[in-house]
Amino acid sequence: MKKRLFLTATAVAVAALGATSAMAQADTFKIGLILPLTGQQASTGKQIEAATRLYMAQNGVNVAGKKIELIVKDDGGIPDASKRIAQELVVNDKVNVLAGFGLTPIALAVAPIATQSKTPQVIMAAATSIITEASPYIIRTSFTIPQSAVAMADWAPKNGIKKVVTLVSDYGPGIDAEKFFKDRLTFNGGQVIESLRVPLRGPDFAPFLQKVRDIKPDALFVFVPSGAGAAVMKQFLERGMDKAGIKLIGTGDLTDDDQLNDMGDGALNVVTSHHYSAAHPSALNKKFVDAFEKANKGLRPNFMAVGGYDGMRVIYEALRATKGAGGGDALLAAMKGQIFESPRGPMFIDAQTRDVVHNMYLRKVEKKDGKLYNVEFDVIKDMKDPGKTR
């Protein structure tokens, strides 16, 4: 009798436990954040993770009756790892949203999983134009490389730069940068006289820069992913290329806010085009930069952090708009067309392309309060991805 009572009590307890965890499950909204937290692109993962945590600290974790749970996973920047992790997050953890994606091949590797499971995939970093076309469940809050490249190709020939050598990382965004810069520069009457590509993994820029020095163009246009800019800058200066009269220009990935202040005065006056500068002069951005630095031992947020921060905004507001319903299709619909002020300036998610539309700024490296910043001096407003308007 005693034994049976005990068994029954245990069964009831177990059943109750099961019910609570099922309830917790139903009341939880899970975001699976896949980032390169180790390896060559670790700074991108660090920036984005810090930004998502800041967003949650500022906005709370209770939205529309749900408790938001962030599950952070390190893919080491390896597409196969990202794919496996995405599968586990969808099947085992039953995440409502997949987010992050530090490199283009990673975003592309995960896209079929987003499609099959009808899970929104929020791209916070990767920037090759084609990515949003890899799945109807993809939304992008980072930027597109053609946006940056075209802005620079419009600025350069108006500023005495006619003959250019391009130097890009040899994969998706680099190929986009090379093509969109060249097409637009040529259209504007300039000329790309040589196109060089360096490997993404463990690049040695020295032989390429030597070649550029011999060719002696008006300018060298560079795209390298976030985290690689300082190495390019160092070798460019060590070879005295600036003194030889070769200007250094590029997408803003080159003068990355994550590294810029340590690049030294040789970086002064370098002009780049990009959607975000930590020096963007808006009240919202000042607040964002201050809060980010305070929460991260003085680390300056870069454009990756902003992609992550805005990605969280898009997810939170989709959850709010759908009144806590976590279904992929409803969330996706609520992500499309969102328009808001970002630390970068005004932005919106084009409902047709699911891609980001925002301002492109021309910026020059200057010293402010003893520190190096990308100071914005011109703007092209509300730029769509040029890769989608061909």
Residues contributing to the site for ligand VNL (CB under 6 A): 41, 44, 102-104, 125-128, 172-173, 225-226, 253
Of the candidates 143, 241, 36, 214, the one whose C-alpha atom is nearest the C-alpha of residue 222 is: 241
Torsion of CA 266, 271, 272, 275, to 10 degrees: 110
| Least Cβ distance, residue 40 to ligand VNL (angstroms) | 9
- Confirm if 52 and 312 have CB atoms less than 8 A apart: yes
Q: How far is Cα 243 from Cα 125, in angstroms, rounded to an integer?
A: 34
**Coil, helix or strand for 57?**
helix
Minimum CB–partner distance for residue 102 and ligand VNL (Å) = 5
- CB-nearer residue toward ligand VNL: 36 or 120: 36
Least distance in Å: CB of 263 to ligand VNL? 16
Tell me the closest approach of the beta carbon of residue 342 to ligand VNL, in angstroms: 17
CB of 191 to ligand VNL, least distance (A): 25
In degrees rounded to 5, what are phi and psi of residue 199? -60, 145
User: In whole angstroms, what is the distance from residue 177 CA to residue 270 CA?
Assistant: 18
Q: Which is nearer to ligand VNL, 30 or 140 (CB)?
A: 140
Q: Between residues 45 and 217, which has the closer beta carbon with respect to ligand VNL?
A: 45
Question: Closest approach of Cβ 135 to ligand VNL, in Å?
Answer: 16
Phi-psi region of 100 (alpha: psi -120 to 50; beta: other; left: phi over 0): left
| Six token digits for residue 269 | 């006056």
Q: Which is nearer to ligand VNL, 50 or 126 (CB)?
A: 126
Measured from the CB atom, the residue of 126 and 165 that comes closer to ligand VNL is 126
CB-nearer residue toward ligand VNL: 110 or 334? 110
- Closest by Cα among 170, 315, 154, 302 to 227: 302
Q: Given the complex with ligand VNL, which of 172 and 345 has the nearer CB atom? A: 172
3-state secondary structure of 365: strand
Q: What are residue 97's DSSP bridge partners?
A: 31
Smallest distance, Å, CB 39 to ligand VNL? Answer: 11
Closest CA to 372 of 238, 253, 278: 278
Q: Residue with CB nearest ligand VNL?
A: 225
Structure tokens given for 224: 């390298």
- The residue (of 43 and 117) whose beta carbon lies closer to ligand VNL is 43
Whole-number Cα distances in Å, 182 to 150, 246, 247, 363: 9, 18, 17, 20
Backbone angles phi, psi at 72, to 5 degrees: -100, 130
Nearest approach in angstroms of CB 37 to ligand VNL is 13
